[in-house]
Amino acid sequence: MTDDVRIRLVTRGEWERLRDLRLRSLADANLYGMWVDPAWRGRGIGARLVDQVLGWAGSWGARSVVLAVTETNAGAAAFYEHLGFADTGERHRLREGSDLTTRVMRREP
């Protein structure tokens, strides 16, 4: 874990920076929806991001947080399982016409 990374909400004036970051994340197919720059992986940042989401969801009374991981992304599934997410048994196609399926995972905040 590293203490020199700060997680915060993006401000309206940072839309270009957010756009560039999002485009970079889309070019890396290892994670979908949540992405950590490969140079910063393995330092606990992903766990901190998930922790922030869980805290935010809990703050407004969410009973659970649900996510979907493609079945072929065993690393992401293991990451989320390590953080307490459980496989619900639900499976869905990634999108219409796709051969990829996703596994639905859930955790209480």
Q: What is the pLDDT of residue 19?
A: 87
CATH of domain 12-107: 3.40.630.30
46-57 pLDDT, tens digit each: 999 999 888 888
3-45 pLDDT, tens digit each: 788 888 889 999 999 888 877 765 547 434 788 888 988 999 9
Which position has the token pair 């016409």?
97
Distance CA 73, CA 2 (A): 25
Q: What is the pLDDT of residue 92?
A: 92
Distance CA 98, CA 59 (A): 36
Q: What is the pLDDT of residue 16?
A: 92
Q: What is the pLDDT of residue 37?
A: 86
